[in-house]
Structure 1
C-alpha cells in the first residue's frame, strides 16, 4: 500500500479543496444546521464536479475511479465539515452497482439527482432508526435477517436533534424490495462507510489543529503569544502525531477494501475508532487553547468539536464497535454482555 497520495490523487485533492474552500465556508455549515443539515446548492455543485458517481462503473454513468480516489474527496469534505451526504450516498450507490439489476437508479445516483443512504443498524419493526442522511434521502438501503432491501418513495424523516445538526432521521419502511446483496456484500458496504468516515475524520482533525495553531499565533496573554508556551506546543504535537497515525490506518483500510485484502473489515473498524479518538483529541486541544472563546458559537472550532463527537455516533455506541472488533480479533468472551 501507499502511505501518501499519488500525483493524480494530489490533483484531485487540490481541485476539491479549492471547490470546498470556495463553496463551503463555515457560514454554509451553520446555515445547513438550521435546516435539514444538508445544503442542496452545495450538493448540486458537488454533483456537477462528478463526486457522487466518481467511484461507480463508467457503464453505469460513473467515472470508474477507485475507492482510494473517493477517499481523497472524503478527506477534503471532512476538513470543511461539508454538509452533504457524500459518503452515505456513494457507498449505497456502489452497493447497488455490485448487486446489479438497478442500472437506471444507479445512473440517477451517479449524477446526484437522486439521493441515497443506508441504515447502519437493522430496522426495528417497520422503522429504520437514526439513519444518516435520513432527513433528505430519496432511497434507503437496509439489511435485516440476512436480506438486503431497498426502499423508494418513502418521505424523508424529520431531522432529529443531535450534537452536530447532522441530517439524522428515523425512516418508516413501507415498500421494500429485496436485492441481490448477501450479508457479506452488506458488511462490505458498511465497512466502506467506516473507512471513508475515518478518512473524513482525519481531514477534520488536521483542520482543527490548523485552526488552533493559527489562534495561538495571534492570542497574547501575559504579554506574549500563547503559542510560545511549551505546554500548548506539546499538546498540538501529541494531537498531530495521533492524527498522522489515524491517516496511515485509514489509508490502509481503504487500500485493504479496494484490493480485497484479508482482515479488511477489522481494519475498517480500527480506522474508524482510532480516527474518531484522534479527531476528538485534536478538536478538544484546540477548543481548550481557545480558552472561553472555544465554547462560543461565533468561533468555528466548536463546529469541529461537535462534528468530531457526532460522526461515529451515527453507527451507535462506540463501545459496541470496540466489542465487535475485539470479538472479530480474539473471539467472543463467554459470559460477556
Structure 2
C-alpha cells in the first residue's frame, strides 16, 4: 500500500486548494454560517469535477475514485467549506449503482445527499446538507430509497453543516426504491463506508488547519516577553496533535485505498478511520482554542469554528462510543 501521491493527484490537491482559498475564505464561511450551505461554492466544486471522481468514465465521470475524493475532502476540511460534498458523493455512487440517472445541479438544484444512519419512524435522521438538498438516499426499513421533495426540518447551529431531519412519508414525496431487503442493506453499508472514509478526510483537513492556526498564533502571541510557543506545555500539546494528525491522514487514505481496491475489510477500515479522525479533529480544535486562551472562546476569533465543525461531524455518524465498540468487535472477530 503506497500512499505517495502521483503527479496527477498532487495537481488535484493544488487545484482545489487554490479554488477553496478563493471561494471558501473565512469571510465566506461566516456568511454561509446560518444556512450551512454556500451555493456559489457548490457550483465551483461541482464544475471542477468533484463529484465526477466517484463516477465511472463511461457514466460521465473521471473514473478516479475514493482516494481522489479524499484529497478533495481534505482540502474542503482545511477551508471549512459549507457544502455536503461527501454526502453528495456517497449518494451519487449509490444512484449510479442502482441505474438511476445522476444530475446534481451545479447551483444546488438537484442536490441529493446520503444519510449515514437509517430512518426512524419515517424520518431520515439529522443529515449534513439535507436542509439545502432536493432529495435524500436513506435506508428506510428494509428498503434503500431515494426521496425527492421531502420536508426538511433544519437543525440550527450544528457546526454550520446545513443539517436537517427529513420526513419521508409526507404527501407529495416522490419515493424511488433503489434496493430491497439484503441487497438494500448491503448497498447502504457500502454508502456508509464511503461516507466514513470521505468524512474522515474532511476531519483530517479540519485538524490540520486547526493545528496550523494554533502554531501560527503561538509564534506571535507573547507572554512574559516571549512567544507562548516557547513554553514546553504548549510545545508538547501541539507536537502530540501533529503526530495524531499524521496518523489520522494515513488511516483516512488507507480507508480510501481499501474502497478503491474492494478490500474485504474496507468497511471496518473506513469506520476506524472516521472514529479516529473524529477524535483527532476535536482534540486539534480544542488545542487551537486553548492556545488562543480566552480569545478562543469568542465568536470574533476563528478557533471556535474548527471546534464546532469537528464536533458536528463526529455527531453526524451517531454515538462515537458505539463506533469504537463496533471497531473493537470487528477487530476481535477478525483475530479469532
Does the TM-score normalized on the shorter chain lie above 0.5? yes
Q: Structure 2 residue aligned with 1:309, among 308, 311, 325?
A: 311
| Separation of aligned partners in 2, 1:44 and 1:294 | 32
Q: Count residues in correspondence.
A: 326
Task: Kindly indicate whether the alpha-carbon contact (under 8 Å) linking 2:39 and 2:108 is maintained by their aligned counterparts in 1.
Answer: no
**DSSP-derived class of the 1:54 partner:** helix
Corresponding residue of 1:168: 163
Are positions 1:20 and 2:20 aligned together? yes
Q: Structure 2 residue aligned with 1:130, among 126, 133, 150?
A: 126
| Separation of aligned partners in 1, 2:149 and 2:304 | 36
- 1:159-214 Cα offsets, whole Å, 9 max, x none, are 21244122111111133221135322210111100011111111111111110111
**DSSP-derived class of the 1:117 partner:** strand
Q: Structure 2 residue aligned with 1:265, among 255, 264, 267?
A: 267
- 1:73-128 Cα offsets, whole Å, 9 max, x none, are 0010011110001110011001111122x12xx14468964201122222222221
Corresponding residue of 1:335: none
| Separation of aligned partners in 2, 1:233 and 1:170 | 42
Corresponding residue of 1:38: 37
Shift of residue 238 of structure 1?
Answer: 0.3
- Give the stretch that moved more between structures: 297-306 or 56-65: 56-65
Task: Kindly indicate whether the alpha-carbon contact (under 8 Å) linking 2:116 and 2:195 is maintained by their aligned counterparts in 1.
Answer: no
Shift of residue 310 of structure 1?
Answer: 1.2
Q: How does 1:192-271 map to 2 (within 5 A)?
A: 192-271=194-273
| Separation of aligned partners in 1, 2:104 and 2:294 | 47
- 1:23-72 Cα offsets, whole Å, 9 max, x none, are 111111111112x2101111112222121223212332222221111111
| Separation of aligned partners in 2, 1:43 and 1:59 | 24
**DSSP-derived class of the 1:158 partner:** strand
Task: Kindly indicate whether the alpha-carbon contact (under 8 Å) linking 1:52 and 1:109 is maintained by their aligned counterparts in 2.
Answer: no
Are positions 1:78 and 2:77 aligned together? yes
Task: Kindly indicate whether the alpha-carbon contact (under 8 Å) linking 1:53 and 1:110 is maintained by their aligned counterparts in 2.
Answer: no
Task: Kindly indicate whether the alpha-carbon contact (under 8 Å) linking 2:29 and 2:81 is maintained by their aligned counterparts in 1.
Answer: yes
**DSSP-derived class of the 2:136 partner:** strand
| Separation of aligned partners in 2, 1:221 and 1:283 | 22
Structure 2, unaligned runs of 5 or more: none
Structure 1, unaligned runs of 5 or more: 332-337
Are positions 1:189 and 2:188 aligned together? no
**DSSP-derived class of the 1:50 partner:** coil
| Separation of aligned partners in 2, 1:226 and 1:121 | 43
